[in-house]
Structure 1
Amino acid sequence: MISKRIKEMIPSVTLAQSEKIAQLKKQGINVIGFNIGEPDFNTPDNIIKKAEEAYSLGYTKYTPASGMIELREEICGKFKNDYNLDYTVRDVIVSSGAKQSLTNALMAIVDPGDEVIVPTPCWISYVEMIKLTGGIPVLVEMDERTGYDLDVGKIKDRITHKTKAILINSPNNPTGAVYKREDLERLGNLAVENNFYIISDEIYEKLVYDGEANCCTASISPEIKEKTITINGVSKSYAMTGWRIGYAVGPTHVIRAMSDYQGHTTTSPNSPAQYASIEALSNCEKFVEEMRKEFDKRRKFIAERLNKIDGINCVMPKGAFYVMVGINKFYGKSYNDFTINNPMDMCDYLLNESRIAVVDGAAFFADDSIRISYSNSMENIREGMDRMEEGLKKLK
């Protein structure tokens, strides 16, 4: 018998789609992937060399459950340099990816029946993580017309005596929104006044455009810092998704609880990957900036290209490497055996007819939309957009 909690869990749509695409590619079918949630750049050579060095130096044993002290010290230094925040190694936990850091945080603070507010559109895993703790996700829709800015007024209306936390993500997956400091300050003050935590997922912090800058929520005030658990990692900024190193920084007692939980699940993260992550955090800013500039070129191109396609509209993203694309004007239209009635129909149509892979917006609680990742070469983006436009023209 399968447990009720697992049977009620919605599987990851993006991972399931990746399997379908892999099968098509195995058949020799050329599919351009706009579904991928990871940089298409390879990990920088200096990081790879550090991993090789780790093996030769014998960094192949367990580390403390919270992660290598040297890596936690480097993370403390990063927060001091980037945001003038003072943390000690007791305030930091390193995990097997930011996903585990998020799960650890929720497991540490959420009891069954507690409510966790989540602005939407959002990454589907947030909701499933909350449900697995026995918590209740409270979804609050942000407005596309404002570029999906954080609507603190809407959030305030959903706070109850059961509110334990709010889980925010800026720069945002899937919308590319970058939350304004003044909105984060208002949210932080609500957290202090109402005694709930802010879990701030800042995994895309380095990928911001148009002169924007990531505002680290914990940096706004000492009082807000005490209510904030910051989630980050090396996956997106340093092209290290497969290395599985994430981390959380926050109040000492919360981090201790997260470490206790991690000690009974995965223990410490991969040792050589931790060693290499020190190099990522200390010596890769040039690579990060070069990657950010390339993503910026792709962002401008793909948003402009999409908005030239009849029936399509999308908001110019400010961060990360995604665009949300409205497709409801195609509802009721058909070609051959396909009729478009919802975003999943559009995803299936574009995969089968245009040989491009996009993601159903419903996976992010965004009705009438699809998500497109521009983490791909300019050559593939151009070809993919041509294929998309050609395919959509066939729908009548």
Structure 2
Amino acid sequence: MTVSKLAQGLRGSEIIKIAGEINELKRQGQNIANLTIGDFDSNIYPIPAELKEGIIAAYNDNQTNYPPADGMLNLRESVSSFLKNRYDLDYTPTQILISGGSRPLIYSIFLAVVDPGDKVVFPTPSWNNNHYCDLLGAKSVMIATRPENNFMPTADEIRPHLKGAALLALCSPLNPTGTMFAKKDLEEICDLVIAENKTRAAGEKPLYLLYDQIYSQLTFGAHEHFNPVSLRPELKDYTIFVDGSSKCFAATGVRVGWGFGPANVVNNMKAIVGHMGAWAPKAEQVAMSKFLANDTYVNNYLAQLKTNIQASLNTLHEGFQQLKAESFNVDSIEPMGAIYLTVKVDYTGKTTPDGVVLNNPADINFYLIKEAKVALVPFSAFGTDDDLAWFRVSVGAITLQDIQLMIPRIKEALGKLK
């Protein structure tokens, strides 16, 4: 039977394809260090104990009916206070939307401000912007970024593409790289958005800025998170934020995300998410509202989580830097935030011991899966060219010990290539 043109044109997830290879090897009894999933192993990184107890208590209290479509008022109040305390951002509960994680928020932003054929500007690598454009029939304008700038876009790279655009989609700390905007770089991009909106006629749709800061509480060392509205308050009418509990509290399965921004956009997002039925479960919302309101619980959990994630990222980074020092054609970028490390493994054109030529980064990845029992994700899964030999490495579902053990396996596997 014929299906819609949309369904025919949708591209599948490259990460799911890699997962299929991993699962097949696991069925054969092989132990694979899976660094592909942007998630946490809940046995390594459980959610906060107080949050878990609160969820159980809410279910025991029969908090199992429909929540309000825009989220429980007490949770939106807690999020409002959280934003003020953590970022000095002033958003009332009516400007906040709760949803089942961040995906419905991102999709509803696209649906609320982008029409079919509209131009959406975003850097590559980045997560899923290309797929949301496909769903809406929007025109993707993908800006290739450079390792020299930690794969973060610059104002000079963005400037030529903003005229007439409906949406600029940014993320920091960035999935898939784990890198972040420097203050000056983000300020320059903010100034571009302000300047572009001054050219729009009265009644003309403005250029909106989607700012995904879901990883903003997971930053390391001297690296500091910045957001557009704090840097340029005049952007408050044009910036829609994506945020939530999934990453900062290792609560990906709890499904409580929050978006916030100008009331006229957020109100339309509320209607869209309501029709999608993509709200977070009521018991989880009740528990999250109480957890967020307790700074001691939040601070203690974040301190421990950040310490452990940073230890894993640093160990992996140091391992790749040691391989680089030993003349292997690899590299890595210092971890700044999130749960990701950006690594280069440039062995395109090399031949495996059984005579197979590695034609592209996907081939390199599958070679490492089979030979080193290590799975990465090529940046091509995030919108870059297929020949870019950089990869995302996620440490949320692997122990520090397993990271230490896999570095020698990678070294041995790469040493076999001719």
Query: Shared fold by TM > 0.5?
Result: yes
Q: Offset of 1:303 from its aligned partner?
A: 0.9
Q: Offset of 1:331 from its aligned partner?
A: 2.5
Q: Which residue of 2 aligns with 1:320?
A: 338
How far apart, in 2, do the equivalents of 1:36 and 1:191 lie? 33
Q: Which residue of 1 aligns with 2:250?
A: 239
Cα deviations across residues 73-95 of structure 1 (Å, max 9, x unaligned)? Answer: 11111111112221111111111
Q: Which residue of 2 aligns with 1:130?
A: 133
Cα deviations across residues 251-285 of structure 1 (Å, max 9, x unaligned)? Answer: 00100000111111115321112122224423322
- Does residue 64 of structure 2 align to residue 43 of structure 1? no
SS of corresponding position for 1:194: helix
TM-score normalised according to structure 2 size: 0.90
Q: Which moved more, 1:141-150 or 1:324-333?
A: 324-333
How far apart, in 1, do the equivalents of 2:18 and 2:288 lie? 30
**How do 1:283-302 residues align onto structure 2 when only pairs under 5 Å count?**
283-302=297-316
Q: Which moved more, 1:315-324 or 1:202-211?
A: 315-324
SS of corresponding position for 2:166: strand
Q: Which residue of 1 aligns with 2:171?
A: 169
Equivalent residue letter for 2:81: G
TM-score normalised according to structure 1 size: 0.95
- Does residue 101 of structure 2 align to residue 90 of structure 1? no
Equivalent residue letter for 1:171: P
Cα deviations across residues 81-111 of structure 1 (Å, max 9, x unaligned)? Answer: 1122211111111111101110011111000
Change (3 A) 1:210 1:10: same
Gaps of 5+ in 1: none
Q: Which moved more, 1:144-153 or 1:275-284?
A: 275-284
Cα deviations across residues 285-339 of structure 1 (Å, max 9, x unaligned)? Answer: 2111111111112222111211222111122131112122222344333221532
Alpha carbons 2:66, 2:282 under 8 Å: kept: yes
How far apart, in 1, do the equivalents of 2:395 and 2:280 lie? 30
SS of corresponding position for 2:226: coil
Alpha carbons 1:171, 1:319 under 8 Å: kept: yes
How far apart, in 2, do the equivalents of 1:138 and 1:346 lie? 28
**How do 1:1-396 residues align onto structure 2 when only pairs under 5 Å count?**
1-40=2-41, 41-123=45-127, 125-161=128-164, 163-195=165-197, 196-266=207-277, 268-282=279-293, 283-309=297-323, 310-366=328-384, 367-375=388-396, 376-396=398-418
Q: Give identity over the alignment, percent.
A: 29
Change (3 A) 1:308 1:338: farther
- Structure 1 segments, 4+ long, off by >3 Å, are none
Alpha carbons 1:230, 1:248 under 8 Å: kept: yes
How many residues were matched structurally?
A: 394
Alpha carbons 2:123, 2:152 under 8 Å: kept: no
How far apart, in 2, do the equivalents of 1:285 and 1:38 lie? 21
Equivalent residue letter for 1:58: N
Q: Offset of 1:344 from its aligned partner?
A: 0.6
Cα deviations across residues 12-55 of structure 1 (Å, max 9, x unaligned)? Answer: 22233224323322332111111121133111211111111111
Q: Offset of 1:183 from its aligned partner?
A: 2.0
Gaps of 5+ in 2: 198-206
Q: Which moved more, 1:256-265 or 1:324-333?
A: 324-333
Alpha carbons 1:121, 1:141 under 8 Å: kept: yes
Change (3 A) 1:122 1:391: same
C-alpha RMSD of the superposition: 1.6
Equivalent residue letter for 1:160: K
How far apart, in 1, do the equivalents of 2:357 and 2:89 lie? 53
Alpha carbons 2:374, 2:406 under 8 Å: kept: yes
Q: Which moved more, 1:340-349 or 1:268-277?
A: 268-277
SS of corresponding position for 1:324: strand
Alpha carbons 1:245, 1:273 under 8 Å: kept: yes
Equivalent residue letter for 1:295: I
Q: Which moved more, 1:87-96 or 1:313-322?
A: 313-322
Equivalent residue letter for 2:130: V
Equivalent residue letter for 2:150: G
Cα deviations across residues 223-262 of structure 1 (Å, max 9, x unaligned)? Answer: 1121110101111110111111211110001000001111
How far apart, in 2, do the equivalents of 1:351 and 1:173 lie? 22
Q: Offset of 1:345 from its aligned partner?
A: 0.2
Q: Offset of 1:357 from its aligned partner?
A: 1.3
Alpha carbons 1:98, 1:247 under 8 Å: kept: yes
Equivalent residue letter for 2:315: F
Q: Offset of 1:2 from its aligned partner?
A: 2.2
How far apart, in 1, do the equivalents of 2:278 and 2:311 lie? 41
